[in-house]
Amino acid sequence: MGFKRVWSTTGVVALTGALLLTSAQTASADYVRDKQWVLDVFAMKDTWSETQGQGVIVAVVDSGVDGSHPDLTGQVLGGKDFTGGGNAQEDKIGHGTKMASIIAGHGHGAGNSSGVIGLAPKAKILPLRTLQTRDDNNSDETWGAAVRYAVDHGAKVINLSIANDGGKTLSAGREAIAYAEDHDVVVVAGSGNDGSSRVSEPAALPGVLSVGAVDKHANVWEDSNSGKGLALTAPGVDIVGANPTMSNGYGVGSGTSDATAFVSAAAALVRAKYPDLTAGQIINRLIKSASFLGHKGLKAPDEEYGYGIIRPRQAVTMDIPAGPKENPLGQLKSSNSTSGKESEETGTSVQAEKKKSSSSDILVIAGGIAAAVVVVGVLFAVIRSRRNGGNGGRGFGGGVSPQGAGYPPQHPTYPPAQQPYPNSVPNQGYPTPPQHSNPYTQQPPNQGQ
């Protein structure tokens, strides 16, 4: 069946951080809200006056989502379990619940002022459980089936806070992502937590919005995978979220999982604000509104920052032309496509994979045919030569040069969107690096094209 381990992109760091928060003597719901530094640096109160993600379903393909958590009540749909355990709202790890809270948590208590509030608090979560424990094989067949289910049940954004162990996504996973892209769904995935210079799959696949992690100073997290094909970066360090496995219901951790959830939430905000835009145009807005936030001399796409760090408020308020309907990051093609140019256009379709895997067989067969033709030709020439008294006759030449499936870059070049940015905006009370004040408040030039 080709099973392959696919890990969540939060990792052990999340567990360590969760234990630290749980052991704090002053830990409380209000303390949890105070830990959400992202809300301030993204000026979310201003953003929510524009949109809160209402009407958008975000699928969380993960360890399940605990819909009974006080910060998620009423936000979580029925979903489906793909592990055989039967309940998509059972989360034994806490990972999926944390992602859901980052996306659509609404807090609790008076005025919902306590607990975790997500960037898109009125979006709905579709929980799709594909693993029960951290030791489970989250195979391509399993999460691929969940992606298809999400598409068929109205999800407009799919959060994949997962990354494989360095291998390639199998056909079941690629087909599922191609299906999602073909049905106007934004697919978001984490780049991985290995500190590698290579973006992990499925994030690295064409059309997928791949996400790396940065800290509150807008610096890349040391364990965030980077490299060609990275699309965006988002907060992923010291992130608090709901976690039903902790005694107080919350945990703190770092990882590209968290960054992925923030981008999924931002996508939900934009989809709610601009319901007529295609998935590709939503991605375009997220890219065009991103910023390098004071990191000078970078050119988009940068291998560590992609097209920049997301800015949800600018993504919903900037004057950005809709642009082409197509996904600026490319698109996977399904093997069911009738296009004869799949392998040349995408380089990642199943049909192209089959051509590649069978190319050696084609060469062997072609070589055999060529050899047979040569032998027949030689015999014919010898016979004719003898008949003509040894005079040279007209001979044969033969050979087959089949062309293998070409694989272009997975993420087509996109027009650069960033320039060096000013650093003269005062901070908002968060620690800042020596070279500039709070980077998240800086305003780059209008990037609408």
- Specify whether 197 is catalytic: no
- Specify whether 62 is catalytic: yes
130 token code pair: 């594909």
Q: Which residue among 69, 95, 108, 217 is the active-site one?
A: 95
Q: Map residue 81 onto helix, strand or coil.
A: strand
Q: Is the dihedral of CA 215, 219, 224, 230 positive or negative?
A: positive
Cα separation of 57 and 271, whole Å? 10
Cα separation of 91 and 83, whole Å? 12
- Specify whether 66 is catalytic: no
- Full DSSP string of 384-449: HHHHTTT-----------PPPPP---SS-------------S---SS---TTSS-GGG--PPP---
Q: Which residue among 8, 139, 257, 343 is the active-site one?
A: 257
Cα separation of 19 and 130, whole Å? 25
- Full DSSP string of 247-312: TTSEEEE-SHHHHHHHHHHHHHHHHHH-TTS-HHHHHHHHHHT-B-TT-TT--SSBTTTBT-B--H
Contacts of 280 (CB under 8 A, 6+ apart): 323, 324, 325, 326, 327, 328
Cα separation of 296 and 3, whole Å? 43
Cα separation of 39 and 21, whole Å? 19
374: amino acid identity, one letter: V
Cα separation of 119 and 258, whole Å? 12
Q: Which residue among 62, 66, 81, 302 is the active-site one?
A: 62
Task: Give me the residues paired with residue 80 across strands.
Answer: 128
Q: Is the dihedral of CA 40, 59, 65, 6 positive or negative?
A: negative
Are the C-beta atoms of 279 and 327 separated by less than 8 Å? yes
The residues that are catalytic are 62, 95, 257
